[in-house]
Chain A
């Protein structure tokens, strides 16, 4: 593959992640501001964003830290919250088979909702396209950079524009995910899977630490699987 093609895939990855980065930015700012108001050290806050790089886990960790929860409990909770990422990684396994291990380590570290959504959308629209890892890397580095920037902005300025979280910028994530999922709904099993995921996640929204999301996803996957047994894989 030419370096020109690699570079093109990389920048496409950046471009197609823009709406998701816009949506994630306020979350990062809120995280930074929350850490600051809980009296966390600047370096520790940035270190968490840079080394852990997982939005929901970071929020939960800070909240639990503030209520003096024991470290093993926090770590166990974070583990449960991140099981969703294992579904993402397993879904992308078919592409990772010919990646060298160091590439897998690097890309696994950067796996987030946003990058998974961008990558899976790319695969859906351009099946079998070469250079997926470069697209992934572009998406991931873009997301990572902005997560760090938003953490710093939140930590240093959070209190000066406390209303940022109320602007509703997360709507960008919602409409982007809708735009990604909808064209994937082809067979009847796809529609039923989506309907089950939708209903179940509303029924379980009060479950702690995003376990409702994980549970609903797994139930929906099982229902989809039951419906298309024997049929061709889509």
Chain B
């Protein structure tokens, strides 16, 4: 029973931040400064997630050529700079990751 209470409360505190700005859209006038700041949200948040997901592996900072997630991210970044196509960045990044994995397996056999 306590678990369902927890789920209900979690659902509430999860929904409020997701909904509040939507609820106010079109009803409040946003200052131009705030609006310009919000334009940076995708760059700021997604980059922070990328950095942690690629460099923090297993709970620790993992720098080195054996961090394939970071190498895939770097390759994908270069591909994105050159071609500016999401699909290409994904394929190149994943390709890099798979090749590195296969090479590691081949080297250990």
B64 proximal to A (CB < 8 A): no
Using an 8 Å CB-CB cutoff, how does the interface string of B70-109 with A read, 1 for contact, 0 for none? 0011001101110011111110111001000100000000
Asked whether A130 is an interface residue with its Cβ less than 8 Å from the other chain, the reply is no
Q: Mark each residue of chain A from 21 to 61: 1 if its CB lies under 8 Å from any CB of chain B, else 0.
A: 00000000000000000001100100110011110010001
* Dominant SS among interface residues on chain B: helix
- One digit per residue, 1 when the CB lies within 8 angstroms of any chain B CB and 0 when it does not, for chain A 168-188 equals 101111111111111111000
A152 in contact (CB, < 8 A) = no
Complex: A113 Cα to B23 Cα, angstroms: 19
> A63 at the A/B interface (Cβ < 8 Å)?
no
**Interface membership of A157, Cβ < 8 A:** no
Contact A98 B69 (CB under 8 A): no
Q: Please state if B25 and A104 are interface contacts (CB–CB under 8 Å).
A: yes
B89 CB contacts on chain A under 8 angstroms: 175-176, 178-179, 182
CB neighbours (8 Å) of B5 from chain A are 71
A234 located at the interface, meaning its Cβ lies under 8 Å from any Cβ of chain B in the complex: yes
Q: Determine the distance from Cα of A109 to Cα of B69 in the docked complex, in whole angstroms.
A: 31
Contact of B50 among A44, A177, A205, A212 (CB under 8 A): A177
A182 to B77, CA, bound (A): 7
Determine the chain A residues whose CB is within 8 A of the CB of B53 once the complex forms.
Answer: 170, 173-174, 177
Shortest 8 CB-CB distances between A and B: which pairs?
Answer: A175-B93, A179-B89, A97-B26, A182-B80, A86-B17, A108-B19, A201-B48, A96-B25
Contact A224 B43 (CB under 8 A): yes
| Contact of A93 with B14 in the complex, beta carbons under 8 Å | no
Contact A174 B46 (CB under 8 A): no
| A87-B48 Cα distance, complex, nearest whole Å | 13
B6 in the interface (beta carbon within 8 A)? yes
List, in ascending order, chain B residues with CB within 8 A of A180's CB. Answer: 42, 46, 86
The answer for the CA separation of A91 and B15 in the assembled complex, in Å, is 16
Of the four ranges (under 10, 10 to 19, 20 to 34, 35 or more), the interface on chain A belongs to 35 or more
A193 in contact with B6 given A82-B13, A108-B22, A202-B51 (CB within 8 Å): no
Interface residues on B, range: 35 or more
Q: Tell me if B17 and A171 are in contact (CB < 8 A).
A: no
What are the residues of chain B within 8 A of A104 when measuring CB–CB? 19, 22-23, 25
- Which interface residue of B10, B13, B21, B72 has the most chain A CB atoms within 10 A? B10
Chain B, 1-13, contact with A by CB distance < 8 Å: what is the 0/1 string?
A: 0111111111101
Q: Quote the shortest CB–CB distance from B62 to chain A (angstroms).
A: 11
Tell me whether B19 and A90 are in contact (CB under 8 A). Answer: no
Q: Which residue of B lies closest to A220 (CB)?
A: B44
Q: A44 and B84: CB pair below 8 A?
A: no
A207 to B5, alpha carbons, bound, how many Å? 28
Residues of A with C-beta under 8 A to B38: 87, 90-91, 93, 221
Interface centre among A108, A168, A182, A212 (most CB of B within 10 A): A182
Residues in chain A near residue B25, CB distance under 8 A: 93-97, 99, 104
Residue pair A202, B52 in contact (C-beta under 8 Å): yes
In the bound assembly, the distance between CA atoms of A148 and B14 in angstroms comes to 17
Q: Would you call B10 and A74 a contact (CB within 8 A)?
A: yes
A85 to chain B minimum Cβ distance, whole angstroms, is 5
CA distance A75 to B16 in the complex (A): 13
